[in-house]
Amino acid sequence: MDLKHKLFDVPKISSIQDMVLMIGKDHAGKLALEDLNDTPIKKLTFEKLLDTVLRFGAGLRKLGIKERSHIAVIGENRVQWALTYLTAMTFDYVIVPIDKKSNPK
């Protein structure tokens, strides 16, 4: 193997939970997600993403939704969709994405 180029130090990520916690702290002020269209959540920094994921997940737990519960998510490609997906994975839910253009049958 040709090792003329310096290799990057890559942090060890063992789970989605680790990744969300790590990037929320290490990249706090940087832009994580942004919608180009006018939506309720226009953009999130990594710090705000982490905070929102933790609060959203805590709210789902408070509602009594247990780990490994299946949660369907349907909607347009926007910040809220990604936030829901990351929250479900972080809190160990089974996320079931459904195409918003799917036939109701």
Closest among 48, 14, 42, 55 to 30, alpha carbons compared: 48
Domain span including residue 39: 16-98
Side-chain-side CA neighbours of residue 29 (13 Å): 0
pLDDT over 90, % of the chain: 73
Q: Find the CATH number of the domain harbouring 36.
A: 3.40.50.980
With respect to residue 37, please indicate whether it lies within any of the assigned structural domains. Answer: yes
* pLDDT 10s digits, 82-101: 999 999 999 999 999 998 88
DSSP for 8-52 reads PP-----SHHHHHHHHHHHTTTSEEEE-SS--SS-EEEHHHHHHH
pTM for the full predicted model: 0.85
With respect to residue 35, please indicate whether it lies within any of the assigned structural domains. Answer: yes
Contact 14, 20 (CB under 8 A): no
Q: DSSP class of residue 81? A: H
